Chains A and B, each alone.
Chain A
Amino acid sequence: MGAKGTRKRKLTVHILRDRLGLKPSKELIETLKKQNEIKNKIFKAIKDEAKTVPEIAKETGLDTTTVFWYLMTFYRHGLVEEVGKTDEGYFKYKLKR
């Protein structure tokens, strides 16, 4: 909200959307919903305890490839940290506080 007496500025993204009649595709929205679900499941699994990819996959019901891909995306965005490694060659990951 702007200063008292001023109108809230319309975002340029909304001006473009309205001007060209743009909207995200149904597939993109569905993908985003699925991504949020995956994110919530992974974050919940590693919130309190560091886990390996197979452990997270088992707990969330997701496949290991999906878990690892998102985990590395979150890792590179600074949301997840590695905490040690198992003898089997799996790193353990935990949600950063």
Chain B
Amino acid sequence: MGEIMEKILASAVEEKNEKEYDVLIIGGGIAGEEAALDLAEMGFKVLLVEKEPSIGGHMFLLSKVFPTLDCASCISTPRMAAVAHHPNITLMTYSEVKEIEKRGEGDFRVKILKKPRFVEESLCTGCAQCESACPVIVPKEYDFGLRGRKAAYIPFDTAVPKIAVIDIDHCIFCGQCEIACPVGAINFLQKPKIIKVKVGAIIIATGYKLFPIGRKKEYMFGKLANVITSMQMDRLLAPTRPYNAVLRPFDGKEPMNIAFVLCAGSRDRTVGNPLCSQVCCMYSIKQAQLLMGALPLADITIYYMDIRAFGKGFEEFYQQAKDMGVIFIKGRVAKIEPAENGDVVVYYEDIENGGRLKKAVHDLVVLSVGLLPNPDIAKAFKNVKLELDEYGWIKPKDENTNPVETSIPGVFAAGCIVGPKDIPDTVVEAAAAAAHVAAYLKEVRG
């Protein structure tokens, strides 16, 4: 957030009326959506709060899911629409939970900051004429900087809600968006609000952050255009991709010799993240298989320490990648250096061939980045403490018998905020959290 938005948010006024819901769900990714739908179907009134302008989390950004290779956005987009249209779910996007006070069992008082989009939600039709008129281009967050967006923009084609937002910190106050809007929806006088709610229970589903791989300086991310992250590769493979095909950012050429570097920013004490991120092996194998389909003549190499194919169908998925011709090399990549014409040299320890240091040239390198906790919400609890583990993930009350209950009775957690996990496990945990909320509310309300 920039200086101008901060200045505007400082003028937020607290609303007098307090609204009441049965459950507050924080985070509109797949975990939050699933929990919201389960609880809403049981008849509970749910408030779902998402800090971004659209719900969807990380899942809708992915190409396909492993090991079934089902289309990720085909699964997540109907869920997003169902959440938005369910009569028992109230959706607040572009909003942040700032304060949570527990007054008793089944009684939480919450303050939520609703940030101004500078667009009237009830008027905007998502036509994107503001976007066409805006002259300012900035890197697009949803494509992880692979291309630009405007300062007035629709977050992405399948955003829910599909409402424009003005990035006030990159606005030059030219008014072109306001002039172009055919329905008069642009309103720069929209003010931030603090909304007060009373809820009976809370589910935290704020997910994870991607490891900032720029911290691993030897991998040259941000310095070499053809060193990208796995999330960027997933975007390149997705139907809503930023380019017209899978191409190298350096010069728009089709890559023919692609390398994956596993455990980039996980299982690595030198960067402060010793944990395995659990999903990197499988999403890299997924991407390798998809690349074999998109670029049949390309060579795909995966540099790995161990392949952790532990879930149902995972080992078969791994073997399938080998059968398709993906090359697996056991060895940690030590460093990456530039070569000619945007190519990249990878230095690695070839463990299965005597542990010698070797190097190989690739025309695109994908860093399979790990996951980090996203525990900012812990600061919002005022008179009760949300326990985190030593790495910052939410510490369940009992890892084995009660993995979704937190240290605070009435506050539950689901998905990657508890620890790295894949989508099916996240959905199961969301359903478990919803069931626990229902049981808790029945108990405290009698």
Contacts and interface: CB of A to CB of B under 8 A. Distances in A.
Interface of A: 11-17, 20, 22-24, 28-29, 32, 35-36, 52-54, 57, 64-65, 67-73, 75-77, 82, 88-91
Contacts, number: 101
Given A13-B171, A23-B173, A73-B137, A53 B188 contact: no
Given A53-B251, A53-B252, A71-B252, A28 B172 contact: yes
Contacts of B189: 12, 15-16
25 contacts: A11-B175, A12-B187, A15-B189, A16-B189, A20-B8, A22-B7, A23-B173, A24-B171, A24-B172, A28-B136, A28-B170, A29-B172, A32-B172, A53-B251, A53-B253, A54-B251, A57-B251, A64-B252, A68-B250, A68-B251, A68-B252, A76-B147, A77-B131, A90-B253, A91-B252
Contacts of B4: 22
A65 B175 contact: no
Interface in B5-59: 7-8
Nearest to B250: A65
Nearest to B363: A89
A68 B249 contact: yes
Contact of B256 (A69, A89, A91): A89
B429 interface: no
Top 7 nearest A-B pairs (CB, nearest first) are A89-B254, A73-B148, A64-B251, A53-B252, A12-B188, A16-B188, A68-B252
B405 interface: no
A54 B132 CA distance: 27
Given A35-B137, A72-B243, 19 more contacts: A11-B175, A12-B189, A13-B174, A14-B173, A14-B175, A15-B189, A20-B7, A20-B8, A22-B4, A24-B173, A53-B252, A69-B147, A69-B249, A70-B148, A72-B242, A73-B137, A73-B148, A82-B244, A91-B252
Contacts of B172: 24, 28-29, 32
Given A11-B175, A70-B148, A65 B188 contact: no
Interface of A is mostly: helix
Contacts of A20: 7-8
B175 to A, nearest CB: 4
B430 interface: no
Interface of B: 4, 7-8, 131-132, 135-137, 146-150, 170-175, 177-179, 186-189, 225, 242-245, 247, 249-254, 256, 342
A10 B420 CA distance: 51
B173 A22 contact: yes
Contacts of B187: 12
Contacts of A82: 244
Contacts of B170: 28
Nearest to B243: A72
A75 B252 CA distance: 13
A11 B7 CA distance: 20
A89 B245 CA distance: 11
B132 A89 contact: no
Nearest to B224: A65
A64 B173 CA distance: 31
Contact of B136 (A15, A32, A88, A91): A32
B132 A32 contact: no
Contact of A69 (B148, B179, B186): B148
In this complex, the member of A16, A23, A53, A88 whose beta carbon has the largest number of chain B beta carbons within 10 angstroms is: A16
Nearest to A36: B135
Given A13-B188, A64-B252, A65-B251, A72 B245 contact: no
